[in-house]
Amino acid sequence: MHQVTDHGDRLVEWVGEGSLDAAFVTVANQMRLPVTAVASPVAVDRLALLTPPGVRLAPGRRPFADLDVVAHSYDTSADALHRRLSALGARPRPAATGETAVRMGRLLGCPVVLPRGLALAYAAPDEQVAPAPVPGRFTLFLVTRRPVPAALAAVVDELADRLGLQRPSGGWP
């Protein structure tokens, strides 16, 4: 197995052309898939708030008042997320990856908003992970060439549980 990390749209393109066997992405429902590819929902994730030790939010309607807030989204909603955080008083700081977001939050001593699965994966024992004060829902898709390879279909149903995420409603086809 050879792992490739890149933006979801590129990964989907590579699956469509046959240079990549499969990709896990959240943008499959936000783009036109190649005719040779199929996307199947694997898991559902939501935005979470990771707070390093000593980080305190303000009470009330503007919990991020005058705080830098590092934000990472692995779909196309980053601009909307930054606007919603600004409305809650934040100074949004974009991060290219989940790991970068967590490291920035630790260095800056500020809250981090990112998908829950990433927050749980990167959280240190002394950090808190809670639901984010802004809604956000993502569906993780497996993108393969048509038809879905039997070996992947056989294990994909277990992935949501192994990742600590919800199974999508309707389940695996």
The CATH number of the domain holding residue 55 is 3.40.190.10
pLDDT on residue 172: 45
pLDDT tens, position by position, 61-98: 899 998 999 999 877 778 899 999 999 999 999 998 89
Same domain, 37 and 54: no
**% of the chain residues with pLDDT over 90:** 64
Asked if 84 contacts 134 with a C-beta cutoff of 8 angstroms, the reply is yes
**How many domains are contained in the chain?**
2
- State the Cα torsion 120-123-124-128 to the nearest 10°: -90
Same domain, 143 and 68: no
Between CA 64 and CA 92 the distance in angstroms is 10
76: in domain: yes
Same domain, 32 and 16: yes
First and final CA of the chain: distance in angstroms?
25
Same domain, 39 and 53: no
- Tell whether the model's pLDDT for residue 107 goes beyond 70: yes
Same domain, 67 and 142: no
Between CA 144 and CA 37 the distance in angstroms is 6
pLDDT on residue 170: 55
Where in the sequence is the domain holding 154, given as residue range(s)? Answer: 8-44+138-163
DSSP state of 109: T
What does residue 111 show for φ and ψ, rounded to 5 degrees? -65, 155
169: in domain: no
Among 17-26, 83-92, 121-130, 164-173, whose mean pLDDT is lowest?
A: 164-173
pLDDT on residue 74: 79
168: in domain: no
Asked if 119 contacts 57 with a C-beta cutoff of 8 angstroms, the reply is no
Among 44-48, 61-65, 102-106, 155-159, whose mean pLDDT is lowest?
A: 155-159
pLDDT tens, position by position, 136-157: 888 999 999 999 888 888 888 7
